[in-house]
Structure 1
Amino acid sequence: MTRADERRSDVPKAVVKVRKPRKKRPPKTPDGRMAVLDHLRELRRRIIWAMVFIAVGAVVGWVLYLHTLDFLKQPYCDVPAKYRVVSAAKGAPPCPLIYHGVLDGFTARLKVSVISGMIFTAPFWLYQIWAFITPGLKKNERRYTISFIAASTVLFAAGMSLAYIVLSKGLQVLLEQSGYGTQAQLTINDYLSFVTLMLVVFGAAFELPLLVVMANMAGVLSAKVLKKSQRIAIFLIFLFAAVATPSTDPFTMCAMAIPMVILFEAAVLFAVIHDRRKARRKAVERADPHLEDDAPSVVDPIPQRLPIAPSDSWSDTT
């Protein structure tokens, strides 16, 4: 090897970086089907994104904790002062919530922050659930699903709003049961658990008419069955309200049961209208039958012999 070759070999060669191709999402068939492992990877990806959104919302909820706590404490502050302890210290809040453990204040703030984050970012993590489910649905099923999601969101919000309105009266009914000369000094963890449970129970209870409508549209519950079982259903609604309400007082029970009965009657009315339209549509289809594009035609397996014309008529025509 010559000196020129040695000099050439001493020169450092440029390092060429080979860019790795990005991993593409698993291909889907036209009907949205994927392999089981691909489904699990997609589910993992959607869950991670949902947790990221909730975590970001929890940070916002941590910052807005004091405003959220004041909002949640308002029903307790609306209770007359003779039923709760009022702080006499200068500058103290009018309706304080106490805690005993060292970590109780931190856990209460963390709990409120996570719940607030779930509420703030609900459209984003609900979209992740929707994006995971929607590829396997048909076009008409996607349209109905969007309507049901919107209706369920409105009903859940309405139930939580009603719970917040009646919460003050329910607390007063409960606290005055201890009798004259007693006052309540609630801990922050117990109070927040009670308020959260009330809001969630009322919101979930208002989803009942939506479940009835879904069952009717799926053909599981007909309007005839619903009309026959109306009295039993109303009794079960009041029984559910008596058991499900955390306060267990008659005022809160009626505040939950009466709107549920009204919504149930609206669902029964919807079922009646839906079944009438369905029966009318079937009657039209029976009167004017037509084959769908993918419906097989009925073919006689044994072909019949064609009629043979008489010989005289054949000769005449020819």
Structure 2
Amino acid sequence: MALGEHLKEARNRLFIGAIAVFVGTVAGFFIYEPVLEELSRPIQDLNAREGRSAALNFDGVASPFDLMIQVSVFLGIVLSSPVWLYQLWAFITPSLKTKERRVAVSFIAVAVPLFFSGIFLAWLILPNAVRVLTDFTPGGFSNIITVTVFITFLLRLMLAFGIAFLLPVVLVGLNLVGVVSGRQILKGWRITIFMVCLFAAMAAPGADAMSMFYLAAPMLLLFFIAIGLCLLNDKRRARKNKAQQEHLESTADQASVIDGV
């Protein structure tokens, strides 16, 4: 494609993804209240189980409306993830052949559950993270938390987990369509471990090492599984190319014999 065609395709795919997110956001408005109640549950549990004094508060007249927009957009991104993930993948690998289209469908079938798994893992560690962070409150003091700051923190964390779980799938997908080889990925395993741990340290909440471990461990496991799959696919592709080369050489030899006769 020419540069103009690439830009046009990017615009079209961004438009489709934006429409999907908008539709998901509209749906998010209808489930906003039960979702907000679940997101605020870690604070409620602190008061109920540990006798803490913690409360979520709005700091402005328009803050409830702003929060509703933020949560609804987050829900829109999550609900529309099959659409925008496919659009992203289709843009990375344009002009897909029939076999590569099957790869694209497989990519979505794996990527969407992993994206949700990352969000779910973040949700699992949140109560512990909130408890650890509020443990630093001195005795006799209360935690008066701004709800917009707290909920925004939770949403960003869950998105970070979800996107982190997508990266190994992207590597496998790029390998399947021949963009990157397994050996190229394997050569950077040291920097991969460092970057994963750095990302986990920045994204995971809490001062305890366990929050970082909860994110880094599954990410590293997924990365090395992805590398293994890429190496296996490289071997399969090499055998196929060798067989095709031998077939072409055999055909050429036969043609030479016929021409000689």
TM-score by length of 2: 0.78
**C-alpha offsets along residues 161-183 of structure 1, whole Å, 9 cap, x if unaligned?**
00000111011111112343333
The reply to whether residue 100 of structure 1 matches residue 67 of structure 2 is: no
Whose Rg is larger?
A: 1
Counterpart-to-counterpart distance in 2, 1:122 and 1:226: 26
1:188 CA drift (Å): 1.2
Contact 1:83 1:176 in 2 (8 A): no
Specify every segment of 5 or more residues in structure 2 that has no aligned partner in the other structure, as ranges. Answer: none
Q: What's 1:85 paired with?
A: 53
| Aligned match for 1:66, one of 33, 42, 51 | 33
**Structure 1 residues 236 and 53: alpha-carbon distance in aligned structure 2, compared to 1, 3 A threshold:** closer
**C-alpha offsets along residues 260-303 of structure 1, whole Å, 9 cap, x if unaligned?**
111112112212322222232233233332699xxxxx99xxxx
Contact 1:50 1:124 in 2 (8 A): yes
SS where residue 66 of structure 1 aligns?
A: helix
**Structure 1 residues 41 and 277: alpha-carbon distance in aligned structure 2, compared to 1, 3 A threshold:** closer
Aligned Cα root-mean-square deviation (Å): 3.8
Amino acid at match of 1:102: V
Counterpart-to-counterpart distance in 1, 2:41 and 2:214: 19
The reply to whether residue 171 of structure 1 matches residue 130 of structure 2 is: yes
Counterpart-to-counterpart distance in 2, 1:211 and 1:129: 10
1:256 CA drift (Å): 0.1
Equivalent positions of 1:104-123 (< 5 A) are 104-123=63-82
Contact 1:242 1:248 in 2 (8 A): no
Q: Percent identity?
A: 33
Q: How many residues align?
A: 255
**C-alpha offsets along residues 294-317 of structure 1, whole Å, 9 cap, x if unaligned?**
xxxx99xxxx9x99xxxxxxxxxx
**Structure 1 residues 53 and 177: alpha-carbon distance in aligned structure 2, compared to 1, 3 A threshold:** same
SS where residue 206 of structure 1 aligns?
A: helix
**Structure 1 residues 57 and 291: alpha-carbon distance in aligned structure 2, compared to 1, 3 A threshold:** farther
TM-score by length of 1: 0.66
Equivalent positions of 1:236-275 (< 5 A) are 236-247=195-206, 249-275=208-234
Contact 2:125 2:211 in 1 (8 A): yes
Q: What's 1:17 paired with?
A: none
**C-alpha offsets along residues 181-223 of structure 1, whole Å, 9 cap, x if unaligned?**
3332211101111110110111111122113323433252333
Specify every segment of 5 or more residues in structure 1 that has no aligned partner in the other structure, as ranges. Answer: 1-32, 87-95, 293-297, 308-318
> Higher relative CO (CA 8 A, sep ≥ 6), structure 1 or 2?
2
